[in-house]
Structure 1
Amino acid sequence: MIDPVVSTDQLAQCLGEADLRVVDGSWFMPAEGRSGQEEYLRAHIPGAVFFDIDAISDKTSDLPHMLPTPDAFAQAAGGLGLTRDVDIVVYDSFGIRAAARVWWSLRAMGFTRVFVLDGGLKKWLAEARPIETGEAHPRAGVVAPLFEGSLVRSAEDVRELLITGGARLVDARGAARFRGEAPEPRAGLKSGHMPGAANVPFDQVVGPDGTLRPAEELKAIFAAAGVDLAHPIVTTCGSGVTASVLALALARLGLDDTAVYDGSWSEWGALEGAPVAIGP
């Protein structure tokens, strides 16, 4: 079993190597009033390119940062110098949040040598490690389109698994949103959760220093939420970002085939007739 995260020490030792690519995947909710790209330009890990999950997305969908077509993704990844014959380390400025979405997106598009920096830029800066400013100018690569559909679920897939029980939905949103006690940050969405879903807020699996919790703690967290790790799992959240954090946590436990519901509550909460549960 290969751990999906790497430490700041490990990354520092490998910076500059020919078969390594570093990616800044920082992203923020509109209400946070921050720009991942602007912050990248002000400070990033040397050699890092910026992966914009909103720009590299399905432009035909009105849902936020949905996966684009394999062709479009391959073109964007190649333009950033990301190819399948190198190791890719993704980080974000939160610690572990949007980096997990980039990690999952790359894996869903056939990239296997992808890791997340444990603690992200926050830990890197706290350790007074080197940074750069401004734009990067990567050497473009040629990437063939691929798609690992087993890692992605649609609304139709979720409807089916609610009927068949083929997988357990695990929701990464905060408890108040999950129970329907707090309004959704995106307008026009119902409150609540998919019937039968478990709730593991993503900040439970990430420690206060922004690092992913150890395996034994992760097992206890999922067990406390009533999640059977021996049963297939599909993660969900508001828009597929923090659902990817849960997928990353499960990958640390050896469950590296966990699927993410790409549309998540941004889609489900607006679907007419989609079943919704309120409460625990």
Structure 2
Amino acid sequence: MKTFSRLAALASALVVSVSSAIAADGPLVTTDWLEANLKADKVRIIEVSVNPGVYERGHIPGAANLVWHTDLVDTVRRDIASKDKLEGLLRKAGVNGGDTIVLYGDTNNWFAAWGAWVLEVYGAENVKLLDGGRKLWEAEGRPLSVSPVALAAGSITLKDANPALRANIGDVVAASTSGSHAIVDIRSADEFSGKVIAPEGFKETAVRAGHVTGAVNVPWGKAVQADGRFKPVEELRALYKEAGVDGSKPVITYCRIGERSSHTWFALSKLLGYEVRNYDGSWTEYGNAVGVPVTNLAGTIWTGQ
């Protein structure tokens, strides 16, 4: 009888393990959920990190790798990857229609959130972020692998790009002058004020300091907890409401090159349900443009150095 009970318990656990792959509601998955679903047939894990060699030194078992600098962008002109390019990369990563795609990465999921935004632009479904990303996964001592991932080619089909999810410079200028959108600058307070044009050590910069006139400053880091996970939804709602962003009008997010603003796009769009466009041109485009409305509180002047 005891042997039968153990077998029944094991069978039940296996059923739970298999079915749990479809039990993750919402745009985030936990580290517990992902570890329980590492081998689930309909779950595909993709790392999108910015620091070279991170994936190769150890990745979540079964995860494919997309390189932000080459895979998720057009490497000739400044643009996101084309539909055909991205579709091919996802198929190579074994992604089929109907799969749950879990993205994660370093630097608090900045570039994983960029990946989620690009996939959203092309109509990919069931895309989720690992809450806490690599930071939390590693801090909890969860398994990492250095083994190459060999996956059968997938068959996912993407849609044409949805322009409603992406702001261009004309949209931002129009919003700045009309007040039609809430504009959220997610950079640091020093970048927003114009005290610095870019964080120390970053090469992508602009010839003007400051921020888009009419924008409010909610640095991306205010949306996360110490362990890298997003703050609870009600705390996020209060955070942005205090800055005047309550979902009553559409939102445009921006940063320096568009990746940190993807993180805030995810919080506002996926967690709070607001209508949000990401301005991926961000300050490196806007701060180099001629004749656009800029507010420079610190009065910093670019000197070419």
Normalising by structure 1, we get a TM-score of 0.89
Shift of 1:145: 4.0
Please say if residues 187 and 255 of structure 2, whose CA atoms lie closer than 8 Å, have aligned partners that are also in contact. yes
**Which residue does 1:46 correspond to in 2?**
61
Query: In structure 2, how many angstroms separate the alpha carbons of the residues matched to 1:79 and 1:132?
Result: 19
Query: In structure 2, how many angstroms separate the alpha carbons of the residues matched to 1:265 and 1:272?
Result: 13
Same amino acid, percent of matched pairs: 33
Give the letter aligned to residue 48 of structure 1. A
Q: Deviations over 1:160-185 (max 9, x none)?
A: 22233321111111111011011224
Q: Name segments (4+ residues, structure 1) moved above 6 Å.
A: none
**Which residue does 2:192 correspond to in 1?**
178
**Which residue does 1:30 correspond to in 2?**
none
**Which residue does 1:31 correspond to in 2?**
none
Please say if residues 95 and 209 of structure 1, whose CA atoms lie closer than 8 Å, have aligned partners that are also in contact. no
Shift of 1:134: 4.1
Please say if residues 252 and 278 of structure 2, whose CA atoms lie closer than 8 Å, have aligned partners that are also in contact. yes
CA RMSD of aligned residues (A): 1.8
**Which residue does 2:183 correspond to in 1?**
169
Q: Deviations over 1:169-225 (max 9, x none)?
A: 111111110110112242443111111011110011011110001011111211222
**Which residue does 2:220 correspond to in 1?**
202
Give the letter aligned to residue 45 of structure 2. V
**Which residue does 2:129 correspond to in 1?**
116
What is the correspondence of 1:60-209 to structure 2 with a 5 Å cutoff?
60-61=76-77, 63=78, 66-146=79-159, 147-184=161-198, 185=202, 186-209=204-227
Please say if residues 96 and 206 of structure 1, whose CA atoms lie closer than 8 Å, have aligned partners that are also in contact. no
Larger deviation, residues 135-144 vs 215-224 = 135-144
Query: In structure 1, how many angstroms separate the alpha carbons of the residues matched to 2:289 and 2:129?
Result: 33
SS in 2 for 1:55: helix
**Which residue does 1:259 correspond to in 2?**
277
> Among 32, 46, 50, which residue is 1:23 paired with?
46
From the two aligned structures, give the one with the greater helix fraction. Answer: 2
Counterparts in 2 of 1:59 and 1:20: CA distance versus 1, 3 Å: same
Please say if residues 58 and 145 of structure 2, whose CA atoms lie closer than 8 Å, have aligned partners that are also in contact. yes
Query: In structure 1, how many angstroms separate the alpha carbons of the residues matched to 2:104 and 2:133?
Result: 5
Paired residues in the alignment total 267
Whether 1:7 aligns to 2:30 is yes
Normalising by structure 2, we get a TM-score of 0.82
Query: In structure 1, how many angstroms separate the alpha carbons of the residues matched to 2:297 and 2:147?
Result: 47
Gaps of 5+ in 2: 1-24, 299-305
Counterparts in 2 of 1:172 and 1:114: CA distance versus 1, 3 Å: same
SS in 1 for 2:295: coil
Gaps of 5+ in 1: 28-33
Give the letter aligned to residue 236 of structure 2. L
Shift of 1:91: 0.7
